[in-house]
Amino acid sequence: MLLRIARIIAAESILVMCVSLALAQPSVPASGAALAFEVAIIKPNDANGTVTIKRLPGGRWIATNASLRLLITWAYDITDERLVGEPGWVDSARFDVTAQAPNDNPTRDQLRLMVQSLLADRFNLCIRREPRQLPLYRLEMDAGGPKVQLQAIGTAISQDPFNMTVLG
Decide if pLDDT at 124 tops 60.
yes
Q: Is residue 136 part of a domain?
A: no
CA dist., res. 115 & res. 50, Å (int): 20
pLDDT digits (tens, 9 = 90+) for 47-56: 778 899 999 9
Q: Is residue 145 part of a domain?
A: no
Q: What percent of the chain has pLDDT over 70?
A: 65
Q: Is residue 7 part of a domain?
A: no
CA dist., res. 24 & res. 120, Å (int): 9
**Position with higher pLDDT, 41 vs 30:** 41
Q: Is residue 152 part of a domain?
A: no
Decide if pLDDT at 5 tops 50.
no
Q: Is residue 32 part of a domain?
A: yes
Whether the CB-CB separation of 149 and 157 falls below 8 Å is answered with: no
Q: Is residue 148 part of a domain?
A: no
Q: Is residue 42 part of a domain?
A: yes
Count of structural domains within the chain: 1
Domain that holds residue 115: 13-131
Q: Is residue 39 part of a domain?
A: yes
pTM over 0.85: no
CA dist., res. 90 & res. 153, Å (int): 31
How buried is residue 85: exposed, middle or buried, by Cβ count under 10 Å (0-12/13-18/19+)? middle
Q: What is the 3-state secondary structure (H, E, C) of 90-149?
A: HCCCEEEEEEECCCCCCCHHHHHHHHHHHHHHHCCCEEEEEECCCCCEEEEEECCEEEEE
75 confidence band (pLDDT: 50, 70, 90): very high
